Amino acid sequence: MNIRLLGSAAAEGFPAIFCRCKHCEKAKRLGGKNIRTRTSALIDDNLKIDFPPDTFMHVLRAGDAISEFEHLIVTHTHHDHFYPEDIRMRTPNFAKNYGDVLNIYGNERVVQRCNDIFENESESFNIIPFQSFTTYEVGGKLITPLPADHKPDENSFIYFIEKNGETCLYGHDSGVYPEETFNWLSKRVLDVAIMDCTNGLKDEKTIHMNIEAVKEMKTKFVKMGMLHEKSKVVATHFSHNSGLLHNDLESLLVPFGIDVAYDGMEIKI
């Protein structure tokens, strides 16, 4: 399994679009891994997780190949994870030779948004509802949606992804996982765990996690035998409000065996 992290920022991006705080200004000066677009990932080229408004930038930066996916799974409907107006650009009025019908999977709010936005273009999309703790075959992978601690008015998901015995937890946006989610995960072994770290050093572990929560979750995974010696734990979805640039995050996380995501990062299992 090959995982490409196309973006690694929270909703406002880093530097944030209109922000002039010292952290955003420093990120602009330093560039490189400090420039973060809204979070999304591509798995084995045929499966995309989330569709943020920065998807156009991701294609410009990484090449046309990342727009050739056949399957899109959505975590929740916050705009930085699901911007279906741009998915319309894949229909005949806007694009030529773009491939087959796109399969989109998500909770009931995702399905409703798709039905509303694609009302006149339904022939270009298959919209498939997901249910928690149900495993689906999607693009040669087994996908299990798990409840997240995030958006109270909808069934926000994190995802357990498996292919030929290789496993990945795509674990954001979420605070510390609900007990039912952790109980389900405790019976699995993770090759890669990608977790939310929006809150940085702030003392907040609900809706989004902070650095301490990521460290605690890794410790819990180890104690439960959910990680092996080659497992990777990756923190992502960073906000400029944390005040932490890439090197700052590395100094706080890498000593604990936690990698810091950046735009374009590739993880191979």
Q: Which of 138, 78, 72 is nearest to 105 (CA)?
A: 72
Mean pLDDT, residues 146-157 taken together: 97
Mean pLDDT of the chain: 97
pLDDT at 185: 98
pLDDT at 39: 98
pLDDT, tens digit, 9 for 90 and up, residues 27-67: 999 999 999 999 999 999 999 999 999 999 999 999 888 89
Q: How far is CA 14 from the centre of its chain?
A: 16
Residue 73 — very low, low, confident or very high, per pLDDT cuts 50/70/90?
very high
What's the predicted TM-score (pTM) here? 0.97
Residue 25 — very low, low, confident or very high, per pLDDT cuts 50/70/90?
very high
At how many degrees (to 10) do helices 211-223 and 246-253 cross? 40
How far apart CA 128 and CA 108 sit, in angstroms, is: 9
Residue 98 has pLDDT above 90, yes or no: no
pLDDT at 64: 86
pLDDT, tens digit, 9 for 90 and up, residues 158-193: 999 999 999 999 999 999 999 999 999 999 999 999
The pLDDT > 70 percentage for the chain reads: 100
Give DSSP secondary structure letters for the chain.
Answer: -EEEEEE-B-TTTBTTTT---HHHHHHHHH-GGG-BPBPEEEETTTEEE-B-TTHHHHHHHH-GGGG--SEEE-S--STTTB-HHHHGGGSTTT-SS--SPEEEEE-HHHHHHHHHHTTT-GGGEEEEE--TT--EEETTEEEEEEE-SS-TTS--EEEEEEETTEEEEEE-S-SSPPHHHHHHHTTS-EEEEEEE-TTTTSS--SSS--HHHHHHHHHHHHHTT-EEEEEEEEEE-B-GGG---HHHHHHHHGGGTEEE--TTEEEE-
The pLDDT > 90 percentage for the chain reads: 97
pLDDT at 65: 83
Residue 9 has pLDDT above 90, yes or no: yes
CB 119 within 8 A of CB 145: no
pLDDT at 129: 98
Kindly list the structural domains of the chain, giving each domain's residue range(s) and its CATH number in brackets, ordered by start. Answer: 2-268 (3.60.15.10)
Give DSSP secondary structure letters for 105-154.
Answer: EE-HHHHHHHHHHTTT-GGGEEEEE--TT--EEETTEEEEEEE-SS-TTS
pLDDT, tens digit, 9 for 90 and up, residues 120-145: 999 999 999 999 999 999 999 999 99
Structure tokens at 61: 């930066």
- Total length of the chain: 269
